[in-house]
Amino acid sequence: MSEILNSLLYASAFGFAMTYLLHSTVWVVIVLLIIKLPLFNTPLLKNYLCKAALVGSLLTSIFVFFCGNTFFNIPITQAKSEHIDATLNYDNGKMVVGATDVVSPIQLPATYEQISPMPTPLVETKKINWSAYMPFVFIFWLIGSVFFLLKMIGDHWIYFRKTDPRLVIQNTNILAVFHAIQQKVKLTKPIKLTQSNNLQSPILIRNQEICLPEKAILKMDNEQLEAMLAHELAHIVRKDYYWAFAFAILEIVFFFQPLHRLIKRELNESNEILCDAWAAEVTGNNLAVAQCLLTVATWIKGQPNEYTLVAGMSLKKSELSNRIQSLIQFPNKNNSELNLVKSALFFSIIMTTILFVLPAFSFTTIKTSTFLTPKIEREAIPISTTDHTKEAKIIEVKNNVRKTIKTTKAEELAARYNLTLKEFKELSSEKRKCIYLLDAVKTNDIVKTRKLLATITPDCMFCGSNTPSTPINIAARNGNVEMMRLLLDLGADIYHQSYKDEGALIATAKNGNVTIMKLLYDNGAYFDHEFKGYGTVLTTAIHHNNFKMVSYLLSKNADPMKPLENGKTAMDYAQEKGGKMWDLVSNFK
């Protein structure tokens, strides 16, 4: 049981990982192609579409994996069987047909001379058990995620250690400028303002602290300081920290997606340009913002370090001219609204297309086992005809053997469900599997049932005849305790029934198997539920004079006074039975 559940867990996790990898790749590639076009290469549209790629790839992969209908089914256990085929030998001048790969005894034509039987051969089945590697893949994924999580935590700890000590700013002039900007944009959130001698550019920490380089306080005038503070406040207003936090989780969990780095770079560049524009609009001084960028650029030595959860005026020398050029042109509000409409349109088109086109990945467990071929009798064919006739007879015998072997079980099941062999073969794969599962449950074949349930739901049903058509109903009717336990452990629905079934609870109440009824109760059975045409389990048990069952149901608080659709109660049925049954129900406390 645990082996099956573990296999399903690993297969589901790996299937979702592959689904996300496919969907995120398509999303990122489409978005990168769009934003590279001159018509759509604006910072705001680029920012919207990059965020849409992150959110959209997660949404489509979740929806298609859990709710979609299109799947790539990949077998995680494949079997390669080596069969002993029919052989031709000569025995005392006669040509002999040897053993073939059969699964049941057969009777060859009586016209052939029978000679001594062959020993039963062993057919070996070699397994390429891919499911055995699933736990290692899952562990690799887990280790990778933990590694990148610890790396991010370690990098930030080292970074903040380098920025220490961070001192609270007491300069009234700077505080006045900062509070003036807050009042202008109506930002009431309390924000801590600090300074550090070890910073090259200002940073925003956990969306609640702005830390300025000490150089900025000493060397910048009020206009440049106002521009710097406005830029950092823009990160708070735009909620860039929360987007960065969500992106960090995606990078940790799906570290195997290399395209995350490309979309992250585009997102960070557009964030900085948009924060510059916001600062210029709030201060009304785009020149001061540009001068601030130039001054900070002279302080940065080498390539600036970027940290996922630290937003700041990060400035690469290669981006300086582009950011200053963007400041020259103030953003038009109408253009901003147009970009929002464009991004929403692109998002809807891409998501709809992906939901209908891209599949999810699922892994199917296929199990095979070693089996023995039964004994068959070797038949001798007299060499008294031409070579062509002898060869034709040999081929005919071999084909008849194979045909008989392959159709015996199918013919048996087809006849049981009032189907022709042709109709049976034309059934879908799922329906044929369900028929084999129903047969295994009916014959109480635990091993075969367990194998079949690895690839099919325990709540399947087939209504091809008047026989019970749900596994749990068959197990209840037959009183198979172990079979019922297996079905319930694998999630069979207690109330699942076809229109030809009475249901597991009623069937158990009829046959009086208290052990199975206890299993059903332990799995959440409700004894006062009324089944149309049958009543409750208590009334059914009373009707069939199952005293032990009635006693057990009453001990589990089955209500003898619950009125049925016909107006009667279990007490009424017990009174009609009279004798011991009436004494049992009426005196129960």
Highest mean pLDDT of the ranges 24-33, 285-294, 561-570: 24-33
Q: How far is 78 from 364, CA to CA, in rounded Å?
A: 10
Residue 120 has pLDDT above 60, yes or no: no
Listed range (33-47, 226-240, 327-341, 449-463) with the worst mean pLDDT: 327-341
- Output 363 or 54, whichever has higher pLDDT: 54
Q: Nearest CA to 8 among 141, 139, 142, 138?
A: 138
What is the DSSP secondary-structure string of 481-524? HHHHHHHHHTT--TT---TT---HHHHHHHHT-HHHHHHHHHTT
Question: Tell me, what's the pLDDT at 150?
Answer: 92
Q: What is the pLDDT of residue 268?
A: 87
End-to-end CA, the chain: 39
| Residue-wise pLDDT tens digits, 510-529 | 888 999 999 899 988 888 88
What is the tens place of the pLDDT at every residue in 470-492?
888 888 888 888 888 888 888 88
How many CB atoms lie under 10 A from the CB of residue 314? 21
Q: What is the pLDDT of residues 227-280, one digit of tens each?
A: 999 998 999 998 888 888 888 999 999 998 999 989 988 888 888 888 988 988
Q: How far apart are CA 97 and CA 86, in angstroms?
A: 7
Task: Identify each DSSP E strand in 324-464 by its residue range.
Answer: 360-364, 371-372, 379-381
Fold of 407-586: 1.25.40
Q: What is the pLDDT of residue 252?
A: 92
Higher confidence at residue 356 or residue 30?
A: 30
Tokens of 307: 């940290």
Average confidence score pLDDT of the chain: 76
- Count CB-CB contacts under 10 A for residue 43: 22
Count of all residues that appear for the chain in the document: 589
Dist. CA 209–CA 232, nearest whole Å: 10
Structure tokens at 122: 């062993």
> Are 212 and 167 spatial neighbours (Cβ–Cβ below 8 Å)?
no
**103 pLDDT tier (thresholds 50, 70, 90):** very low
Q: How far is CA 406 from CA 401, 411, 425, in A?
A: 9, 9, 12
Q: Which residue has the higher pLDDT, 495 or 69?
A: 495
Query: Which pLDDT score is estimated for 462?
Result: 75
Sorted by where each begins, the domain ranges of the chain are: 2-71+136-360, 79-130+369-397, 407-586
If one counts every other C-beta atom within 10 angstroms of the C-beta of residue 57, the result is: 29
pLDDT at 392 exceeding the cut of 90: no
Got the DSSP string for 444-455? Answer: T-HHHHHHHTTT
Comparison of pLDDT for 96 and 187, the residue scoring more = 187
pLDDT per residue as tens digits for the range 143-181: 999 999 998 888 888 888 888 888 999 888 889 889 999
Token pair 């250690």 is at which residue? 161
Tens of pLDDT, residue by residue over 23-39, are 999 999 999 998 888 87
Q: What's the farthest any 2 CA atoms get from each other in the chain?
A: 119
Q: Enumerate long-range contacts of 81-87, CB under 8 Å, 24 or more apart.
A: 81/123, 81/124, 81/125, 81/126, 81/368, 82/123, 82/124, 82/125, 82/126, 83/123, 84/121, 84/123, 84/373, 86/398, 86/401
Report the relative pairing of strands 71-75 and 360-364 from DSSP bridges: parallel
Phi, psi of 443 (to 5 degrees): -85, 5
